[in-house]
Every structure is written in C-alpha cells, then in structure tokens.
Structure 1
Amino acid sequence: MRTTAAPPPAQLMVHAGLALRSALAAVAGTEPSRLGRAAAGAAYLDLWAGDRLLRADGGNHSAVARFLLPRLLMESVDTLSVLLGAQAQRNTGPGAAYREHARRLHQAMWHPDHRARLDAVTARLDGPPTGEDRLARPLTSVRPAALPLALHALLDELERERRAVVGACALAPADASAGIWALADRYALLTAAAACLDGWRGTGRGRRITTDRDRLVAALSRIAIRLGLEPVGPDTELSAALFDEAVAHCRRPTVPARTAPAAARRLVGA
C-alpha cells in the first residue's frame, strides 16, 4: 500500500492560517480571555516566523522547514483551543473548520516520512556549517544600534547558542540518537531565528515600525523559549500584545511565500 506524500510546508502554513482564521471567526463579537488572546498572538507569530523561513531557506524544498514547521504549527494551532473553548467541539461552523485544519497538521507531524525529514537536516550537521549555510555566519550583521534595545541581550544568547551548535556539529554522532535529534532541533530553530532577523529592516514610521519591532522581539522570544533560553521581558509567551495584529492578518488575502534566490535553494537537503 502506497503512502500518501507528506504535504509541503507551504500547505501546512495554509492549514495553520485557516485554523487561526476559524478560531478568530468563532469568537468574533466577544471579548476573548487573556490566555485566548495570547494563543492567537502566538499562532500568528509562528506563522510569521514560518513565512520568513520559507522565503529565506528555499521554500517547499527547505529541509529545515520540512522538519521544523510541522511541529511548530501543530503546537500553536493546538493552543488555539484555549481561544475557542467549548466551540472547538462543535460539529459545524468555525469550530468544526478549526478541528479539520488541526487534524491535517497532526497528520503531517506524524507522517511516516518523519525519519526522512530528520535525516535531511542531520545531513547538514556532518561537520560545522560552512559556505552558504546560514549558520556559518553570525545571526545578524545589523548594527546593534539599529536593532530594538530589548533584543540586545537575547541576541547575545542566541549567538552563543549558534556557536555552541556549530561546535557540536563537529562532534555529531552518525546515528539517529536522541542527541542528534536534539541538535537538529536546535539547528532548525536557529535557522528560523536568522530568517526572522534577515527580514528586519528597522525602517518606517509610527505604528508600522512599532509593530515590526514588537513582532520581531516576540517571535525571537518564542524561538528562545523553545531553545531553553530566557525570553525578552516577563510572561512573553502569554503576552497578548499582538492579538490585534493577528486579527488584521486574518483579514488580509493569503499570499504564497516567495522563496529566496537559487543560491539559497542549493541547501534543500531533501
């Protein structure tokens, strides 16, 4: 019996985006709880980080995206059940639509190709990152003065983590042990962090520049938490500051992620 091919990362992004839209539609006209608003903001941040990763690392061919996005998107969409409450169990309407998209993400996460997804990333870990591998360079070349002040300490932590991963790659075991899985996870998360930073321009005015800054800080904080590092500020993962941005995002038409030039796609590893 042939196994159905795993959905590409861009399709998972569509399911996660529609799950967020469905959850917000279910609570339209109500005042969501603080935790519900935080869940929506977190789901939006993971969508934004996923979009940055797809654009920077080769789109659907990205080994990192194929490995990392199924888990990240499944986790954040599952958390949206806090926003939906009892509506998540309804058999019709937005609650039912949310469950269907969440189900698709679970299927993708536990697809039989999960070992192949891991192998595609560990193939990059056979020695320190070099050449066009994004982690061969510091996480950001932007001058500290041009970055949000709140990020300075966090970026120091992330850069130390990058250097630790580079060093660990030189000693990575050849088998699929728990150690190599954990190293692949750290490598993938740092690649996503670099993609978020590479998209930062720090230009604009008024609310636009504030929103861009807050989104970058919050997205990197979520990545830091997953790496076991300290986020920026207290209670970062529960912050609902980006709830309104999540609502605005869901009101805009869906636009497919544009991928990086062919030079980046040479690292597809799949």
Structure 2
Amino acid sequence: MTTTAETVYAAGAGPGRWETDALARAARLEALLGDPHDPANPHGLRALFAADDRRTPPAATEALLAESGLGAEFVPAEYGGRLTRADLLARTLRPVFRRDVALGFGYGITSLFATGAVWAAGSTRQRRDLADLLLDGGRGTILHHELAHANAILRDEFTARPTPEGGRRLYGRKDLIINAARADAQVVYARTDAARGPNSHSVFLLDPARAQTGTMRHLPRIETPGMRGALFSGLEFDGRSLPEDALVGRVGEGVALALRTFQVNRSVICGVVTAAADTVLHSAVRAATTGRTGPVARRWHKPLTGVFADLLACDSMATVALRALGLLPDRAHVTAAAVKYVVPGLLRENLEELATVLGARGYEHGSPQYGALDKLVRDLPVAGLGHAGTAACQAVIVPQLRHLAESAWFAEDEPPPELFRKGAELPPLDYRLLGIAGGGDFMAASLIGSAGRLAPSRGVGGQITALAELAEAFVAELRALRATCRLLPPSGASAFGDPAMCVLSDRYSLITAAAAVLGIWEGQDGTDPFLADAAWAVLALSRIGERLGIPVPDLPDGCTAHLLDELIRRYRAGLSCDLDATPLAQ
C-alpha cells in the first residue's frame, strides 16, 4: 500500500525535485524488473512472452508493480500521489512498456485513461475516493467505444435515462473492455440526451462494490490478436441505478471531457510506446553485430540509423506534447492530436525496417533476444495505435485547419523556451485547465522561429547548413498549407471523411513533427554532445521531409556514420535510444 505519508510530495517537494524524483523512480523500476534478456529473470522477456502465449497476465510482474506502488503514478500529488507532470509520468512508465505494452496497459495506464475525467471535473469526494482506491493498488477502467479511441464515444453503446425518483438508470453493453472483470471502479461515457450534438453524453463514476438496483452482467472474455496477456471482456447494464453523486461534472459534459482528457492519453501513449520500439532496435543492433569482428555491414546502416533518428523524433514530439499539457494547457489539444497522428505511423514503418535487419529472427516466438518485434507488431494495433486512433486524431485536426490558417500561422509568438529545454521547471499537469478549442498553434510559431535563427547558417556548409535548409523547406510547406487551408469551407468537420482532408492532416502533422525536432535540438544545453550536434536532427528531418514529399538536401558527409557510432555505443553501454539515453538493466 502506498500512503500519502510515503510520497515525497506530501512534504512539499516542488518543481525542482519533481524531475529528479521521477527519474529515480524510473531507475528503481528498471532495476526491479531486471535484465529483460536474462532467460532466468521472472520479469524478463522470456517470462513475459510465455504469459502472452498462455494469454494470461504475468502475475509475478504485476505483483512486483503493485508492491512498487505504481498506482500512485496516476494520482495527482494534491491527493497524495506522484502525478505532477505528464512528461515525467511517461518517463516513469517506460521501464514497463520497454518490456511489454500489454503489461503497461493491463496493469496500470488504463487507470489513467479512466480517471482523467474525474481529475478534470469530479467532485472533491469523487477525487479523494478514487485517489484512495488507486493508492491502495486498485484499478479503474473506462467504458466507451474502443480502447484509447476518442472518435466513437458518440455511438449509442450506453444510455443513462432519468428516473422519476431522481438519479438515472444505465442501459447498454460493450463487449471489449480492458480489465472489465477486475476493475475496482468504472468510468462510463453514456448518452443522456437523445439529440446528437456536443451535449449528448455525460460521464458517470461507478463503484462495483456499492450495491445498486438493476443488473450489471459480466460478459465472457474476448481473446485479441495482440496484447494477449491483457484481460478484455464485456459488461452489460440493464437498468443499473446511478445515484446523483455518480455524475462526474455536469450533465452533457461528456464529449467535452473526452476531448480535454484524451489529449493526455494520446500524448502519454506516444511517450511510452517508443520504449517498446527501443527494445526492438536494440535487438536489431544485436543481430547486426553478434558474431562480427568488423564494422556493421553497410546494408544495415540505413535502416538502423534511420530508425534511431525516427525514435529520437518520436521522443521529441511526445516530449513537447507532454510538456505543453502543463505549460500551455489551453493550447495543447491540436499538438497532442498531431503527435498521436504521426508517432504510430513512424513506429509501424520502423518495425518494417527493423524486420529487414532481424529477418526470421525477429519472429522467433518467445526469444528474449529477438522476439520483441513479433510481439510488438501484434500489440500496437490493439493498443489504439491503428487506423481508428488515426481517424480520431483527424477528427480533432481537420476542423481547426482553416482557423489556424487564417489567424495563427505566421501571426503568433513563439512558445516559452522551457517547452523544449531539458531540466526546465514546468507547472504541474492540471486536468481542470485543459482546453479544447482555439488557442492558436505554438508549434508553427516555433518552426518559423527556428528557421529564422538558422537562416544565417545556410551558406556555412556541413550539418548546420543542411539543418537550416530543411527548416526553411518546412516553413515553405507551412506557407503552402496556409494558402490551401484558407480555401476550406467554414466547418472542416463535415469534410472529415474526404481523402483530401486526410492529406491535409498528414501535411500539418508532419510539419508539427519537424517543429518538435528543431525545438528540442535548439533547446540543448550542450551537456549531451550527441544531441547538441545537428546530425541526428538532420537525418530525422530528412526522413520527415521525404514522407511529406518536399525537397530535402543530400545528407552531409559523416551524418549516417555519426548516428551509427552513437547507436552502437548506446547498445554496448546498455543505454536507451531516446533523448534521455537512460541506463538499462542488463
């Protein structure tokens, strides 16, 4: 059990301590989980793969996470937990996701998704009760269309009808809910207004231990092609009573709460799943170097360095979105959607590239050295990183494009530099401050600012000139996008299914990705020579530019070699392939 007295925040630790404490907890968790490649490790990949084969949660590892008090990571510090900043939460959870995406979802992160609405709009009693539940090792789950998908909560899966005596009764069913059979609290998005529109749904907090009239029936478990160790099953409600105090926030606030809180979910997912891809990249480096006395074969240089650059880009995007949730909470929603739009696509492409390096070994089922590719390919779509998740992000981005083109792009100031600076003291994540409309586009402003500062370097030569040319190319693409989006109809939502609108979402999101890479590179203080050098940013931006179809300069001499050297160094030193270069258990 994790009590308030056991958290450092109860003693008044401030922002200066938050990052230090989070990194220490992540390191402790990494050590507790042990060497993932050790076949004898009960929490290693072999044991986790075996649980996946059995389609059961890894009981020993879940017990370890419970003992470590992981549930406190999802509870805001003001209620006795450890949740201060979203970016620090992601860094704390990476040791779990580095080993098993299903474990990360099944044990804990689903509780974060469920509880967001309560932290944003719940009563003081609801927040305290939920905090106590999670701090005691309990779980929460969320009931809407699909795991981590925001696009379909408007479907009539649950209905909460008012009763003459007060309160409501809940009807409907959902067949695929993670942890439905073992959640200690359920957060339900249910229709409360027959008319379609933004006020059609409300949110309710259910306590399964609290006796209510009506029925709640548990449906059979459903086996999924990925995340096979997670427990998915269904719930059916037939008139289950909902007392007045089960309502979270106001009647009709469900859609707004989903839009506000799901931006946290999207950003956190992107911040943690890169750790799972990191494991596959380490496996590929192992495959390319084992048994060789000389350098890595030239044919593997491009896929290895390209994926390394992409993972750094993904981490840059996720880090910026996560920091913005606290620093710019009223303006982060479009950036969060753009990041969630880009990162899954890059990761899927990365796994395909690494498959060429790993070959058949990447599909050695259960192999602790190489089997991570096989499992992650199956897990990512089930984790909400497939087509439906992309559509949800388009539904956020598309309606904003004309407004941004007319009032934000090339017209607003840059965000604070702390957004990109490692070690900067940032405000805590406060769900109550999150916004969902308007607010401009600070990432576009950052891109324009970065390009302007790099412009004098365009004739210098080498990596810095390539970086300056790439920055200017992305600004030119933003300018062209502005011209196109100014011609859109007043409401882009009606054109959401139009393939042309999807192309605009692609272009916008990749421009945002480029802005994040440039911002993180500019924010370096020189303590990490590799990140301070422009080579990684040049390769990352070149790959983003190629996906966007804009002209990119030839890679400068030594760019690929520089990344390959760093990748091999990190592999041999047991360091992660993200921005932090975290020591890994081995």
Q: The TM-score by the shorter chain falls in which range?
A: 0.7 to 0.9
Partner of 2:309: 45
Deviation digits for residues 3-47 of structure 1, max 9, x if unmatched? 333672123212211221222233342354323222111111111
Instruction: State the AA in 2 paired with 1:104.
Output: D
Of the three residues 130, 154, 161, the one matched with 2:477 is 161
User: Is 1:226 paired with 2:547?
Assistant: yes
Q: Paired residue for 1:200, among 518, 521, 525? A: 521
Find the aligned partners of 2:341 and 2:570 in 1 and give their Cα distance: 25
2:352 paired with 1:78: yes
Residue-by-residue CA offset, 1:165-204 (whole Å, 9 max, x unaligned):
1222212352121111111111111111111111233874
Residues 69, 255 of structure 1: alpha-carbon distance in 2 compared, 3 angstrom cutoff = closer
How many angstroms does 1:100 deviate by?
1.0
Alpha carbons 1:74, 1:109 under 8 Å: kept: no
Question: By how many angstroms is 1:163 displaced?
Answer: 0.5
Change (3 A) 1:146 1:210: farther
Q: Please report how far the alpha carbon of residue 239 of structure 1 lies from its aligned counterpart in structure 2 after TM superposition.
A: 4.5
Q: Which whole-Å CA distance do the structure 2 matches of 1:211 and 1:227 have between them?
A: 25
1:20 paired residue number: 281
Larger Rg: 2
Instruction: Give the letter for the 2:455 counterpart.
Output: P
Q: For 1:184-195, list aligned pairs within 5 A.
A: 184-195=505-516
- Secondary structure in 1 aligned to 2:480? helix
Distance (whole Å) between structure 1 residues aligned to residue 562 and residue 359 of structure 2 = 20
CA distance, structure 2, for counterparts of residue 100 and residue 11 of structure 1: 16
Matched to 1:100, the amino acid is K
1:95-145 C-alpha deviation (Å, 9 max, x unpaired) = 212221232234443253332121122233132161540224615242433
Structure 1 contact 15–101 (Cα < 8 Å) conserved: yes
Counterpart of 1:116 in structure 2 is 392
Q: Do the aligned partners of 1:67 and 1:121 also contact (CA within 8 Å) in 2? A: no
AA aligned to 2:148 is: A
Q: Determine if contact 1:23/1:98 at 8 Å carries over to the other structure.
A: no
Q: Residues 271 and 319 of structure 2 are in contact (CA less than 8 Å); yes or no, is this contact kept in structure 1?
A: no
Q: Relative to total residues, which structure has the larger strand share, 1 or 2?
A: 2
Matches of 2:555 and 2:454, distance apart in 1 = 26
CA RMSD of aligned residues (A): 3.2
8 A contact 2:281–2:304 mirrored in 1: yes
Q: Is 1:126 the counterpart of 2:437 in the alignment? A: no
Identity of aligned residues (%): 25
Q: Do the aligned partners of 2:466 and 2:555 also contact (CA within 8 Å) in 1? A: no
Tell me how far apart the structure 2 counterparts of residues 55 and 234 of structure 1 sit (CA, whole Å).
26
176, 179, 187: which one aligns with 2:500? 179
CA distance 1:200–1:158, shift in 2 (3 Å):
same
Give 1:101's match in structure 2, choosing from 346, 352, 376: 376
Which stretch shows the higher mean deviation, 27-36 or 164-173?
A: 27-36
Q: Aligned letter for 2:273? A: L
Report if aligned partners of 1:224, 1:230 keep a CA contact under 8 Å in 2.
Answer: yes
Equivalent residue for 1:3, pick from 146, 153, 158: 146
Aligned equivalent of 2:444, options 128, 132, 135: 135
Number of equivalent positions: 255
CA shift, 1:80, in A, is 0.5
Q: CA offset at residue 150 of structure 1?
A: 2.2
Identify unmatched segments of 5+ residues in structure 1. Answer: 258-270
- The letter for the 1-side match of 2:535 is D
SS in 2 for 1:109: coil
Corresponding residue number in structure 1 for 2:128: none
Q: Which residue of 1 aligns with 2:569?
A: 248
The one-character-per-residue Cα deviations of 1:149-176 (angstroms, maximum 9, x if unpaired) are: 2233333322111111122221235212
Determine the structure 1 residue equivalent to 2:339. 65
Residues 42-69 of structure 1: CA distance to partner in whole angstroms, max 9, x if unpaired? 1111111111112223368711111111
SS in 2 for 1:23: helix
Distance 2:399 2:567 in 1: 36
Partner residue, 1:265: none
Residues 223 and 37 (structure 1), Cα distance of their counterparts in 2 relative to 1, 3 Å cut: same
CA distance in 1, matches of 2:526, 2:145: 51
CA–CA separation in structure 2 for the residues paired with 1:235 and 1:33: 20
Q: Normalized per residue, which structure has more helix?
A: 1
Q: Tell me if structure 2 keeps the 8 A contact 1:19–1:102.
A: no
